[in-house]
Amino acid sequence: LVVHLIIGFRDICVFTLVLPLGTLFVCFVSAYVFQPEEIHETHCRWHLASVPSVHNVLTRSFATVLTRTHGTNRHQRQVYNIIPSISAITGVSPQRYLWRVSIALHIGPRFIIAFVYRNWYRAMVDGLSDPGRMAKARRMINIVYWLNLVEISALCGVTYISNKENYPLHEKVFIIFMTTSLSYMLATLKLLKLLQPDGPQTPYEESSLRYKQAFFALSIASTVGLILFFLKHRFLCQDLAFSWFALCEYIVASANMGFHCTTMLDFPTEHFLIAKNAKQYKKQQASLGWKLD
């Protein structure tokens, strides 16, 4: 056996977390400092009577944008918001290029992790004694696997289809991402209940399950808030509604990253290996196949 590369699975997980999280922070700070008007721009505008120039300066300092309405002596101002959305800070230039590069590097390990989880779950099925439970678990493994792949693909789509370039399509892909993300979390918890009828067997498994449940609950709560504040922003154009929506969006993104980072607890000692003459170690359930059982 000749080993060309060996990387701890925990290290891969840390890389997939730190890369988008760090990039998101850089995009937020740089866009907030240098492009406040662009990232706070929304479809909502209130019409105001002409105001003194001093007031204009003050309102600009609070990130409101004043523009002359054509043919009138009235003004428009953006609804007051202080927190931009993820789409806003990653949709302006040059932040969009940095974000797209980070997601491109993030996606590869995510697909590998999805394959590894599927094979890990299949190995756990062999330890079950109830044929009915085994059949249900195999079906659920396929559901979890494909939900994970669709979620990753939707993340790729929502990244490369900017809301400024094609908002209707961006919105639909974002909905697909949110739906598959929550469905994947729920299906994973259901699958673990099938695979561990007596509960977690190790401290790592117990911690992983506890964190998964907490991140799923946080995702559900923040998604409810996200929908509520989006409707308030879209139909009522309330001040700060979009900021609350954006805050919920950041919480959803963080909870999603946290849920997937429980990989560190599920595979605490495993390694990613590239080696020569390793055929004797190859198992059928560990192959990267696309065939459904």
Ranges 33-42, 77-86, 191-200, 208-217, most confident? 208-217
pTM for the model stands at 0.82
Read off the pLDDT of each residue in 215-221 and give the average, rounded to a whole number.
98
pLDDT bracket for residue 278 (50, 70, 90): confident
Q: Give tens-digit pLDDT for 70-124.
A: 333 344 456 788 899 998 899 888 999 999 999 999 999 999 999 999 999 999 9
Cross-strand partners of 6:
273
Read off the pLDDT of each residue in 155-183 and give the average, rounded to a whole number.
92
SS (H, E, C) 198-227: CCCCCHHHHHHHHHHHHHHHHHHHHHHHHH
Cβ atoms of residues 246 and 42 within 8 Å: no
Would you state the pLDDT for residue 55? 38
Of 234 and 56, which is predicted with more confidence?
234
**CA 81 to each of CA 45, 65, 233, 242, 257: distance values in angstroms, whole numbers, following the listed order:** 12, 11, 10, 7, 26
Here the tokens at position 92 are 């302006």
For the chain, what percent of residues have pLDDT higher than 70? 83
Cβ atoms of residues 248 and 223 within 8 Å: yes
Specify burial of residue 250 (Cβ count, 10 A radius: 0-12, 13-18, 19+).
middle
Q: Is 155 helix (H, G, I), strand (E, B) or coil?
A: helix
How far apart CA 154 and CA 170 sit, in angstroms, is: 10
**CA 117 to each of CA 45, 139, 188, 191, 282: distance values in angstroms, whole numbers, following the listed order:** 48, 14, 10, 12, 17
pLDDT bracket for residue 236 (50, 70, 90): confident
Would you state the pLDDT for residue 1? 76
Q: Give tens-digit pLDDT for 24-45.
A: 999 999 999 998 888 877 656 5
The whole-chain average pLDDT of the chain stands at 84
Would you state the pLDDT for residue 13? 87
Each as own residue / partner, the long-range contacts of residues 269-274 (CB below 8 Å, 24 or more positions apart, any chain) are 270/8, 270/9, 270/116, 271/6, 271/7, 271/8, 271/9, 272/5, 272/6, 272/7, 272/8, 272/9, 272/12, 272/112, 273/3, 273/5, 273/6, 274/3, 274/4, 274/5, 274/6
